[in-house]
Amino acid sequence: MTAPGVEGAIGAGKAVGERRLHPVTPFRRAWAPVAVLTGWAVHDPNQAQEQLTKLTTTMVLGGLAVLVTAGALYGFLTWWFTYFSVTDSELRIRTGLLFRRTAHIRLERIQAVDITQPLLARVAGVAKLRIDVVGTDKKDELAFLGQGEARRLRAELLARAAGFAPETAHEVGEAPAHELMRVPPNKLAISILLTGATWGSLAAALVAPPFLWLTTHSVWTVLATAVPLLGAAATTSVGRFVGEYDWTVGESPDGLRIDHGLLDRTHETVPPGRVQTVRIVEPLLWRPLRWVRVELDVAGSANSVLVPVAPRAVAESVVARVLPGVTVPRELLRPPGRARWCVPLWWRGYGLAVTDAVFAARHGLLRRRLALVPHAKVQSVRLTQGPWGRLWRLADVHVDTGANKTVTARLRGAEEAASLLREQAERSRTGRRTARPDRWMA
Amino acid sequence: METGSAAGAETTGTEPEWTGLPPGLLRMRRLLLVVWLGLLALAVGLLLGLFAGPVWAAFALLPLAVLAWGWVLLGRNWRSWRYAERADDLLITRGVLWREETVVPYGRMQLVEVTSGPVERHFGLASVQLHTAAAATDATIPGLDPAEAERLRDRLTELGEARSAGL
């Protein structure tokens, strides 16, 4: 993907159709020196104050001017030397002032496309566009583009990836989307209140600092523990609420669309056939309400939530749209009773179901997690058995997927596991026959 | 996008033809074991015998006991390694106490690697490693004859191309 030095054409002149990012981009780096100074001042307040008294006003102003100019110049130069272009089969990003870097991202390998807008970017009317391919990192995102341009570019990339002819690709426009579900704010708030982690972090933040005060009487120790604890409590409750606010799942010919966020808006698109695993999580306190959380794994993508909270029936209908032809199995086969000698109590949480389309394995007793893997997404199948497991004639079957997630059916009977291994290998091989092509419109 | 073949469906039902590892690997591992533990036993025996008295030199028997035990273990482990090339997938089983059996469909292979370290090269051995898109896939066949390793690599690559499928 990266070919430093290979591009002989870099100095030779601009290739056809190369574009620069939005002119607001340099400003996102201008604040960096100020942030470094602030960080240093916060980190070591006494010394910072001491140093400040030594400085005269002119020196401070002069220093700031130099720093801001340097930051602005750096931002401007990186912006000036960053180009991107869309060819028939690739998105090319060329960047770097001293160390040149060229990324060619193949469009048929697209796993997901994300447009994110942090709060300040929303004010400025710009957005980041990120293409998830296996192996891309943060450097490969296009930050920033104009809002409208980002949407047009996403539509064009998806059209080309879908297999439309290059001449027509930029005229196809955005595929129409229809909403599958939306999470109301009150439901989201209740679901967060019913999560153990929220209360756990809050309790830790409220109990630990007074306790430390009583034992050490040191303000710094108390502050050093209270601030991170409060921060953690805030991110698990308020942060989650803000991030998952107005969660909307939609469907379009280009695939799944997930939009969310109160301050920072994120719009994700996952083309058809890219989902490697889907997990249905049932926290203990949600169970009386029959609510679930649905997570998904896409290769090369960091996004993992599909539905933050929804009634089970709604969640299952969404899963059916994400993995076409899949119904969430209701009846799961428990391990044989002798499994209690391997994993006491928790053995009851394990379960397995294999349907025509998916391999489904459940684990967890209090917080139940059911993982679904379409047969076509299975990369390899493994059977493992330790000495204690052999004594009780039990074995584990692992199914590896391309998103680097392994789904395990634990503690199956030895004969059952052996036949499961053979059959799953067969199913994962043939499961590909009905799968849609990578270029989903071709 | 089509994977597999019609002929494959018939052969998968029957017990596959297993291939064990050549004895070269066992020879190499045992030789390394004998050399290292032999040296250790010698060092322990000499040092303790010279500085603490001849009775203490009996501690040199400890590495020798480990040697004998390791000799047996290596043999058992070597015997447990088997692989089978079926029509559509590769099977690898290994392990005595902790048994593991891996099935990798040819269509999922992203990369086949043949590696050979300096010691392995001296003994005329090479290992074949298969990579799929899942990092958890752990499919390595150690201690093959280099010619066999290359044959396996070429055959796997060829089969992988014919049955290739994406993520």
Residue to substitute from B101, B112, B159, B163, interface A, most A β-carbons within 10 A: B101
Distance from CA of A131 to the nearest CA of B (A): 16
B5 has a pLDDT exceeding 70:
no
Find tokens 């392994």 and name the residue: A406
Considering only residues A221 and A34, tell me which one the structure prediction assigns the higher pLDDT.
A221
pLDDT by residue (tens digit) across A224-240?
888 888 888 888 889 99
Flag whether residue B72 sits within 8 Å of chain A, measured between CB atoms: no
Question: Closest-CA residue in chain B for A379?
Answer: B108
CB contact under 8 A, A425 and B165: no
Structure tokens at A437: 């092509």
CB contact under 8 A, A401 and B132: no
HEC profile of A385-437: ECHHHHHCCEEEEEEEECCCCEEEEEEEEHHHHHHHHHHHHHHHHHHHHHCCC
pLDDT by residue (tens digit) across B39-61?
999 999 999 988 888 888 888 89
Kindly report the number of other CB atoms within 10 A of residue B129's CB atom.
16
Each domain of chain A, given as residue ranges in start order, spans 19-175, 185-244, 267-434
Predicted ipTM beyond 0.90: no
Q: Residue A379: which of B9, B97, B133 has the nearest Cβ?
A: B133
Q: What CA–CA distance (Å, rounded) separates A91 from A11?
A: 19
**Predicted confidence band at A254 (pLDDT cuts at 50, 70, 90)?**
confident
Flag whether residue B88 sits within 8 Å of chain A, measured between CB atoms: yes
**Rg of chain B's alpha carbons, rounded to an integer?**
21
CA distances from B120 to B33, B74, B117, B147, B151 (A): 14, 16, 5, 14, 18
Distance from CA of A298 to the nearest CA of B (A): 10
**Predicted confidence band at A243 (pLDDT cuts at 50, 70, 90)?**
very high
Q: CB neighbours of A139 closer than 8 A, spacing ≥ 6?
A: A95, A101, A103
Q: Strands (DSSP E) along A77-207, which ranges?
A: 83-86, 90-95, 101-106, 112-117, 126-132, 141-146, 178-182
Lowest mean pLDDT among A6-15, A195-204, A370-379, B113-122: A6-15
Question: How much is the average pLDDT of B137-158?
Answer: 90
Number of alpha carbons in the 13 Å side-chain half-sphere of residue A413: 8
Instruction: Please name the fold of domain B82-162.
Output: PH-domain like (2.30.29)
Measured between alpha carbons, how far apart are the two ends of chain B, in Å?
A: 11
Lowest mean pLDDT among A62-66, A352-356, A430-434, B126-130: A430-434
B91 has a pLDDT exceeding 50:
yes
CATH no., domain A267-434: 2.30.29.30
Q: Residue A385: which of B99, B103, B136 has the nearest Cβ?
A: B99
CB contact under 8 A, A429 and B97: no
Q: Residue A381: which of B3, B88, B103 has the nearest Cβ?
A: B103
Distance from CA of B48 to the nearest CA of A (A): 38
Q: Residue A387: which of B2, B97, B102 has the nearest Cβ?
A: B97
